[in-house]
Amino acid sequence: MIPNDPMNVIICGVGGQGNVLASLILGRYFVDQGMKVTIGETYGVSQRGGAVMSQLRISKTRQPAPLMPSSRADLIVALEPVEGLRMLGQFGNPTVTVLSNTRPWLPMSVLAGEHEYPEVSLVLDRMGRFSEALWKVDATEIALGLGSAILANIVMLGALQASVLLPLEETAMRRTLEASLPPKRLEQNLQAFSQGQEAVKRH
Amino acid sequence: MHKLLTDSPGEKMLLLGNEAIARGALEAGVSFATCYPGTPSSEIPMNFFNISMESDLYFEYSTNEKVAMEVAAAAAVSGLRTIVTMKHVGLNVAADPLMTLAYVGVKGGMVIINADDPSLFSSQNEQDNRYYSRLSGLPMLEPTSSQEMKDMTLKAFEMSEALELPVIIRTTTRLAHVRGPVELGDLKPIVKKATFEKNPFRFVTVPAVSRKLHVELLDKFDKAAEISNGDAYNEVIGTGKWGIVANGACFNYVKDAVLDLGIGENVSILKLLMSWPQPETLCIDFMKKVDKVLVVEELEPINETELKAFAQENGITIPIKGKGIGAFSRLYEYDPGMVRQSIADFFGVEYKAPEKMDLAATPELPARPPNLCAGCPHRATYYAVKQVFGKQAIFPTDIGCYTLGLLPPISMADFVICMGSSASSGCGFAQATNQKVVSFIGDSTFFHSGITGLVDAVHNNHKFTLVILDNGTTAMTGHQIHPGVNTEPMGIERTRIPIESVVRALGVQDVHVIKPFKLKKAMESIKNAMEYDGLSVIISEEMCPLFAKATKQFKKSKPFRVNHDKCRNHRDCLNFLACPAMYLEGDQVEIDKNTCIGCTVCAQVCPENAIVPVKA
């Protein structure tokens, strides 16, 4: 069962990383489990390359509002480290857990030399320090190994399942993946999911 | 089969608010749908578009919101169930037909979906369109969840037919872009055609007719007020002495806050689902039963002001507050923490907001605004124009992906107020100053409302350059078609109107069609336009690569790489173009071959010719 009710989950990253799909899959999973789920998305303008965030709120008893109050996240799933730390600043608290991809995606302002991207090790260190637990996953590396960085979101879902930070029953989760992904890409995505699980088990 | 055509009543689906609206319309047997896309409404018509390909639903992307409203109005007065969708500023464009359509009314149910955007996630303002219901006299429904988005759409059709009036449904970003469970109902068959029955004394709004129609509108308004006072929409939840009035997304935050604060016993909530006409009797009864009232509404203090007026007329002297309590203001969307705090403050309840994490020891995080995609043709056009005109020209711009030209290193956006304003404000800047003026407008925006500005420029002999960025689609809102799109590759039959023909037909003498990825040639044309003593139009043609990929029109090219034997680290590529395919490895620029689409622009910009195709 979910450890808190409502369980407040944030999935964040960069536009184009498949943030929305990841939150949709998790949402469907919990709806199928008979839970009440609300997902609030934040995407504006043409968000490609911009920061994106979904709030997934899960309850056994009531339909939660689309947004959680500040500092009330129970779990942050970060597809990009700086975005994870950014969300931790707004929604973090001493009991939050974080599952983060380790590969940074540099904003254009950093590439153009106007801003600096902090050392990744420092970002991860701070995420660990400001949360109850930090789980690190080399999701982009794993995804690239499978042929495409876009699979990182599904790698993260696999890692999330194996981490037990959210109660995701494996068989049911795979069924939700099958129902949510185009048949042509299913095999590759299921591999990404498995490798995400493995990455956590190696921890 | 499209998922919204699933014929299994009782099934629960996790639907986006906008999908729920589309489903509600299908359950009402909607026959006719029009729109101009705009965030946060765009997913509604995207679903209608796909559904229209596999059902009898008629759907069109109209030229602009005014056109969409008028096309829909004709279908509705003919007797078909009709829906028209737009974002809040779109209703400004459609305001002219809206106001008089309210006089003539409709026969088939007509639902107007209006999506407001508090906090301006992707809009140029955050106007509160609840005023349009007051301005037009049309009823307004404000659902609070995905389920209600569906249910209210269905009921809006019924109400519209009962009153013979269009009904406005107002959503906001937090409803349109929220997913929640929706229980499906029965799908209704689609009626394809109706017969228009002539009645000039109702439908032809000459003054003598409209004088009578205005009386009828006020009669209909009274009937709508009866519905609003009944129990079909608005309700009072709870019996406590602390009154809270809430609408739309705020209702959810109030519900959460009351639970969280443990004050359920003390509170009565008046939920305004049908917010116009206001349920006057219900409001008065409510205010008589409570000790004080807190109005929780985003943006303007509309409900608050109206409740105060009711109270004054009925000798009710309890405190009625809204704006100014806690952090409640007319700015931006409310957040749930703020709603908890304001409720606690107003009713004198203990509430300790969770402490913000102190991330003092954390380095400053770089901001991450959205940017133009790798291989976006706008980047190339902006570069070429800047090379020719320099940075000093005035650059009026418009609404679309290319508005991102505002951001460095492009920095070529000086003025934008609404769709189409680049063309007309170009006229004004050219006349009012001695500065050079180059206006930028997208292809869809040109058809939407740029043409009239260009007519003005031709007719009044304004001297400036209008650059039409023709990427073959309405890119920003999700790749919708528009009158200039070649729809054949998508298997859709629509007549294409080439932009060049329109421009020439309007009498523009100096017209250049450029290919922005051929920088040298493009810059020659731009130079000719700059030197022309009069009005010039440059049409920059290159398909949006994302749209090209989605419609299988993308011609794959080799990605590029940096040859470090030649690179002398000028970084012109990065500093002028800032393409997301570029990254720094140490202090050397590299190109990610998975992101690069091979547009070749950086290779043309590099002074050392150090950017070369990746060998197979």
Write the DSSP assignment of B41-110 as a string of letters: TTHHHHHHHHHHTTSS-EEEE-SSHHHHHHHHHHHHHHT--EEEEEEHHHHHHTHHHHHHHHHH--SS-E
The reply to whether CATH 3.40.50.920 applies to domain B235-347 is yes
Cβ–Cβ below 8 Å for B256 and A65:
yes
pLDDT of residue A43: 67
Interface size, chain A vs chain B, as Cβ–Cβ contacts under 8 Å: 175
Cβ–Cβ below 8 Å for A37 and B178:
no
User: Which residue type occupies A153?
Assistant: N
The answer to the question of residue A112 being in a domain is: yes
User: Which portions of chain A are predicted below pLDDT 50?
Assistant: 46
CATH at residue A166:
3.40.920.10
Q: In chain A, positions 5-24, which contact chain B (CB-CB < 8 Å)?
A: 14-15, 23-24
Backbone dihedral angles phi then psi of residue B482, each to the nearest 5 degrees: -150, 175
Nearest to A31 among B181, B354, B356 (CB): B181
pLDDT of residue B606: 97
The answer to the question of residue A159 being in a domain is: yes
* Chain B: residue whose CA lies nearest to A49: B370
Confirm or reject contact between A198 and chain B (CB < 8 A).
Answer: no
Ordered by start, the domain boundaries in chain B are 3-229, 235-347, 377-486+493-550, 560-613
pLDDT of residue A41: 86
Instruction: Please give the Cα distance from B166 to B105 (Å, whole number).
Output: 7
pTM: 0.96
Cβ–Cβ below 8 Å for A41 and B179:
yes
The answer to the question of residue A1 being in a domain is: no
* pLDDT, averaged in runs of 10, over chain B (616 residues): 96 96 98 97 97 97 98 98 98 98 98 97 96 98 98 98 98 96 97 98 98 98 98 97 98 97 98 98 98 98 98 98 97 96 97 81 86 95 98 97 92 98 98 98 98 98 98 93 94 96 98 98 98 98 95 93 96 93 88 93 97 90
pLDDT of residue B361: 73
Residue B182's contacts (CB-CB under 8 Å, 6 or more residues apart) are B12, B13, B14, B15, B20, B23, B146, B147, B149, B150
The answer to the question of residue A95 being in a domain is: yes
Cβ–Cβ below 8 Å for A43 and B177:
yes
The answer to the question of residue A2 being in a domain is: no
pLDDT of residue A47: 62
Q: Tell which CATH classification among 3.30.70.20, 3.40.50.150, 1.10.10.60, 1.10.3720.10 matches the domain B560-613.
A: 3.30.70.20
Cβ–Cβ below 8 Å for B337 and A48:
no
Per DSSP, which regions of B221-286 are E strands?
Answer: 235-237, 242-246, 267-271, 274-276
Q: Cα separations (Å) of B201 from A48, B212, B216?
A: 52, 9, 12
In three-state form (DSSP H/G/I as H, E/B as E, the rest C), the secondary structure along B185-227 is: CCCCCCCCCCCCCCCHHHHCCCHHHHHHHHHHHHHHHHHHHHH
Rounded to 5°, angle at Cα A120 from A118 and A125 = 100
Residues of B in contact with A14 (CB under 8 A): 368
- Assigned CATH for B3-229: 3.40.50.970
Residue A18's contacts (CB-CB under 8 Å, 6 or more residues apart) are A79, A150, A152, A153, A154
Residue B488's contacts (CB-CB under 8 Å, 6 or more residues apart) are none
Instruction: Please give the Cα distance from A141 to A9 (Å, whole number).
Output: 24
* Chain B: residue whose CA lies nearest to A114: B366
When scoring A7, A46, A47, A83 by the number of chain B Cβ atoms within 10 A, the one with the most, hence best to mutate, is: A46
Q: What is the DSSP letter of B517?
A: T
Residues of A in contact with B145 (CB under 8 A): 63
- Assigned CATH for B377-486+493-550: 3.40.50.970
Confirm or reject contact between A69 and chain B (CB < 8 A).
Answer: yes
B315-340 exposure pattern, b = at least 16 Cβ within 10 A, e = fewer: ebeeebbbeebbebeeeebbbbbbbb
Cβ–Cβ below 8 Å for B363 and A122:
yes
Domain tally for chain A?
Answer: 1
Residue in B272, B278, B267 with CA at minimum distance from that of residue B235: B272
Can B3-229 and B560-613 be said to share one CATH topology?
no
Question: Both tokens of residue B556?
Answer: 């794959």
Backbone dihedral angles phi then psi of residue A89, each to the nearest 5 degrees: -65, -40
What are the beta bridge partners of residue B491? none
pLDDT of residue A201: 83
* Chain A: residue whose CA lies nearest to B144: A65
Rounded to 5°, angle at Cα B17 from B32 and A172 = 120
Radius of gyration of chain A (CA): 16
pLDDT of residue A112: 75
Residues of B in contact with A115 (CB under 8 A): 366-367
Cβ–Cβ below 8 Å for B355 and A51:
no
Nearest to A45 among B122, B179, B582 (CB): B122
Q: What is the DSSP letter of B404?
A: G
Question: Both tokens of residue B363?
Answer: 């380095």
What range does the domain containing A101 cover? 7-201
With H, G, I as helix, E, B as strand and everything else as coil, classify residue A129.
helix
H-helix or E-strand spanning residue B603: helix B601-605
Instruction: Please give the Cα distance from B566 to B240 (Å, whole number).
Output: 77
Average pLDDT, chain A: 93
Write the DSSP assignment of B150-198 as a string of letters: HHHHHHHHHHHHHHTS-EEEEEEHHHHTEEEEEE-----PPP----PPP
Q: How far is A64 from chain B (nearest CA, A)?
A: 7
